[in-house]
Amino acid sequence: MTEQYVLDLQEVDETQVAVVGGKGAQLGGLSGIEGIRVPDGFCVTTDAFRRIMTEAPSIEDRLDRLSRVNPDDREEIRRLSAQIRGAIEGIAIPGDVATAITRALARLGEQAAYAVRSSATAEDLPTASFAGQQDTYLNVMGPTAILQHISRCWASLFTERAVIYRRRNGIDDRTVRMAVVVQRMAFPQAAGILFTADPVTGNRKVATVDAGFGLGEALVSGLVNPDVFKVRDGEIVAKGIAAKQRAVHALPGGGTQEVAVDARRQEQPALTDAQVVRLVRLGRRIEAHFGRPQDIEWCLVDDGFQIVQSRPITTLFPVPEARDEENHVYVSVGHQQMMTDPMKPLGFSMWQLTAMAPMHEAGGRLFVDVTRRLASPASRAALLDLMGRGDPLVRDALETVLDRDDFVPSIPDTGPGGPPAGGASTPVETDPAIVTKLIERSRTSVAALERDIRTKRGPALFDFLLEAFEEHKRVLSDPLSIQVIMAGMEATWWLNDKLGEWLGEKNAADTLTLSAPDNVTSEMGLALLDVADVIRPQPEVVAFLRNVEDEGFLDELAKLAGGTEARDAIQAYLDRYGMRCVGEIDITRPRWRERPTTLVPVILDNVRNFEPGAAERRFEEGRQKARKKEQDVLTRLRALPDGDRKAAEAKRMIDRVRTFIGYREYPKYGIISRYFVYKQALLAEAERLVRAHVLAEREDVFYLTFQEFHDVARSHQVDGRLIQQRKDAFRSYRALTPPRVLTSDGEALTGAYRRDDVPVGALVGLPVSTGTIEGRARVILDMAEADLEAGDILVTPFTDPSWSPLFVGIAGLVTEVGGLMTHGAVIAREYGLPAVVGVEGATRLIRDGQRIRVHGSEGYVEILP
């Protein structure tokens, strides 16, 4: 039947991606929107493409080879993809397919001019637009030429850039099909692109129109700078008229030509203001139909707009759902927790259930709504102060929002401002026994959880966990624990402020807190040096570890000389710290106990780069430096006017900071210890559901929220389509960069340092650990791939506590995310590493192996020649 090879656009809607590809489905959907004009046309379906592919068996073999090529081997991808394209273009279109196409052309006008456009099944989707990855041909005339260009569109599924783009988006070449859209050619006076949300800021209420003369190809190809209009609430709020010196026009005999624009017209706007507003109104109608912001290609023909393409804008960060129409301001949780990767649904839902503040999910990340605290002058000042001390970029972003008088209306204070955000600041006695007591409380609570959860199964497990989450929050909100954390932070701030004022010392607390006691995260890094000490004298063990790939390698160690001692040392480390991992706030991430191979490269680096006894030596060296710094500071203070009083105050604060600052890391250790207990129980439940044939695989539960998992445990029914949708969404979220601050309008704000005291070309950040160091930059995105030498400077997006074993072997630290009191900063100070955090784009701007200089006191990084 000819219908399977050709469908009219009016017969298609956006649900038929598998039949007519993304572009064809979107155009079909557009055709059905009242008031939207789409040039007449038809789709050559994916059935036709499948028929073509069966005509050349050699293509299957080449696809096999292409699937095995390393994604970084551009040359081999280029060679194989060219062979596949050549094979497709060389296939004669079967008679019944060609007949279906020529009949459709006859209905629309055989001698008319047409646009022939690729429409892949993985194109123009909500999660990946694939814009520009396949080919479009304009002003094609005559059946023979149109058939030839349809073949070229089929072949364009295998352009080098399309193949690489699919690899990066995790899409298998074999799963994608190519349809082709054939449309009557529009000959516009002007054309361009309409974004129904601002593509730069993300603001959903601001539409952007790019416009130029002639066909839109001039804009898409970058031939000319367009006129740019910004429209909000039906009014043009900004516009820039460009000098449009070139345009692309259709030729009478087919094809297109670049032409010069008459000098008198170059600086005239391509659209009138009224036309811009009318176009945006059409765009809002299209956006409402598809349910998300759109990137729309339009043509102006005789004062009427024709829409030739609409695709979702896939680069926008999603906005948290709100139950009202009010303005909201959200602050990123990931930037505070040093984990800005997306979380799977089980991960973010469990963090929401165990967090001390309500959190909202968007794009797989969590945000806290701070609107009410910003609206009240008293709580606003406390919030901005806290944010400014932690991450100045968050404060700057919030102040940018506040500068817009109408976005966050002030509400009168109904009473005193209350304690600073983050907890009570009631003084607590400087007594190390308090920290010991808190740690013991946490251990007792975790031990009780481990004991009580063992007998829980099915729905009863989830009921138990909901009660356990309340105990979790009770431990977190323990007033004494909060007092101790605040006491350590306030003592740090006091020392930095006062010693800066009295002695001109910058960040003196950095040295004074070296090797502070009871810091479980810095102990974790040093403990891995002790593991290396056990392994170093055993050459067979070292050689074995260099080739380890299997997670069961610990069992194999006992067969080697010295292997039992090595296994026991690693196992003891995992018993104490194995619940940790990169991105540990997401319970779905594999823990070190589940994937111990993650630690092997770090252990081998320690074996190679350190001498025996390094852990004890480093800790003692840090303690001596801190003691020497204390003596130096107190001596200099006593020499000042009123020096005895100043020295006494400073001594009291130094004792306080050394007593309490290490505990700052323990609550997170307690949280993650509990998380591992939760996870083991939940995975055991998932295993039971797999055995009962409810779930296809255990990790499918990661794509359900906690409540959904609970429902599945009760009903023994699961929606497989929902799990697949969640997997697709999670993959798309990985390509998004979360903002520090996000508004309900969708505007993403990253903040700025606004400094003019750094050298030209330097990368600006936040100074969090004093000192200056020069060395080789190691840009590392995955801890498991670390290969460090002594003196290297670690450059990475973020460092949560799991990165601290790497800190013992580096000379300095640069991260894209972080604040003064985030984990990476605290441990950098513990180890005496010069560190600058919050350096936007550091892993992109600094190349692996480059020499850099880190100014940990001044807060900038120089890239050296």
- Annotated catalytic residues are 823
Which of 278-284's residues contact partners 24+ apart within 8 Å by CB, and which partners? 278/305, 279/194, 279/209, 279/305, 280/194, 280/196, 280/207, 280/209, 280/231, 280/234, 281/234, 282/35, 282/36, 282/307, 283/194, 283/196, 283/207, 284/196, 284/207
CB-CB contact of 782 with 240 (8 Å): no
Task: Find the length of the chain.
Answer: 865
- Report how far apart the first and last C-alpha atoms of the chain are (Å, whole number): 67
Listed in sequence order, the residues at least 6 apart from 547 whose beta carbon sits closer than 8 Å to its beta carbon are: none
Q: What residues are paired with 116 via a beta bridge? A: 137, 182
Cα 540 to Cα 563: distance, rounded to the nearest angstrom: 8
Q: In 471-594, which ranges are E strands?
A: none
Of 198, 191, 411, 383, the C-alpha closest to 300 is 191
Coil vs helix vs strand at 235: strand
Cα 423 to Cα 561: distance, rounded to the nearest angstrom: 53
Cα 358 to Cα 367: distance, rounded to the nearest angstrom: 9
Tokens of 727: 């997997």
Cα 341 to Cα 496: distance, rounded to the nearest angstrom: 32
Of 476, 481, 508, the C-alpha closest to 495 is 508
Give the helix/strand (H/E) hosting 278: helix 273-290
Greatest distance between any 2 Cα atoms in the chain: 101
Distance of CA 200 to CAs 316, 625, 817, Å? 9, 48, 21
CA atoms within 13 A on the CB side of 618: 22
Coil vs helix vs strand at 91: coil
Q: What residues are paired with 360 via a beta bridge? A: 367
Task: Count Cβ atoms below 10 Å from residue 752 Cβ, excluding itself.
Answer: 13
CB-CB contact of 843 with 796 (8 Å): yes
Task: Count Cβ atoms below 10 Å from residue 406 Cβ, excluding itself.
Answer: 6
Of 52, 121, 119, the C-alpha closest to 88 is 52
Of 167, 135, 162, the C-alpha closest to 23 is 135
Of 225, 256, 219, 223, the C-alpha closest to 240 is 225
Placement of tokens 């060679």 in the chain: 79
Task: Count Cβ atoms below 10 Å from residue 198 Cβ, excluding itself.
Answer: 22
Q: What is the DSSP string of 400-461?
A: HHHTSTTTS------S---SPTTS--------HHHHHHHHHHHHHHHHHHHHHHTT--HHHH
Q: What is the DSSP string of 776-836?
A: EEEE-S-GGG----TT-EEEES---GGGHHHHTT-SEEEESS--TTSHHHHHHHHHT--EE
Indicate the burial class of 804 (C-beta count within 10 angstroms; 0-12, 13-18, 19 or more). buried
**Beta strands 835-837; 812-815: pairing state:** parallel
Tokens of 789: 């030498």
Cα 688 to Cα 524: distance, rounded to the nearest angstrom: 34
